[in-house]
Amino acid sequence: MNGRNPMDRQRRIRALDERREQLEKDTHRRRVHLRRRLAAASLLFLFVMVLIGQSYFSKVGYVSDQQQAYAQAKVELSEQKAEQDELKEQVERLQDEDYIANLARNELLFSKDGEIIFYFSPEE
C-alpha cells in the first residue's frame, strides 16, 4: 500500500467530495445571482424603453397638434388677406365720386336735381 493508510485515502476522498459539493453550491449561487442581475437589468431596460417610448409619442402628438394649429393659422391668414384686399378695393371705390353718387342714389334713395325717384316694393 505504498505507505499510505486507507483512512487517509478516505479522508482525502471525503475532503475532495466536500470541496466538489462546495464548488457546485458556489456555481449554483453564481448562476442564481447572474439570473437575478439579468432579470433586474432586463426590467431596468424595459422601464427605460417605456419612458423613451412615452416621451417619443408625446412629442409626436405635440408636433401633430402644432401642425394642425399651423394649418389653421394659414387658413385664417388667407381669409384675412382676402378680406383686407376686399376692404382696400372698397376704399379705392369710395374715393371715386361717381361711385359714391351711385351708391347714395341706390342705397339711400338720393336724387339729382330735377330727378324723381319711384320706389316699387318687391312684393308688387
- Residue 124 pLDDT class (50, 70, 90 cuts): low
- Give the range among 32-46, 72-86, 103-117 with minimum mean pLDDT: 103-117
Contacts of 109 (CB under 8 A, 6+ apart): 117, 119
- The per-residue pLDDT for 76 is 97
* 103, burial (CB in 10 Å: exposed 0-12, middle 13-18, buried 19+): middle
DSSP string, 84-109: HHHHHHHHHHHT-HHHHHHHHHHHS-
Q: What is the pLDDT of residue 120?
A: 75
Please report which confidence band the pLDDT of residue 1 belongs to, taking 50, 70 and 90 as the band edges. Answer: very low
CA distance 83 to 89: 10
* CA–CA separation, 52 and 60 (whole Å): 12
Task: Name the pTM for this structure.
Answer: 0.50
Give pLDDT, residue 106. Answer: 78
pLDDT in tens, 64-73: 999 999 999 9
pLDDT, one tens digit per residue, over 57-95 is 999 999 999 999 999 999 999 999 999 999 999 999 889
Question: Amino acid identity, residue 37?
Answer: R
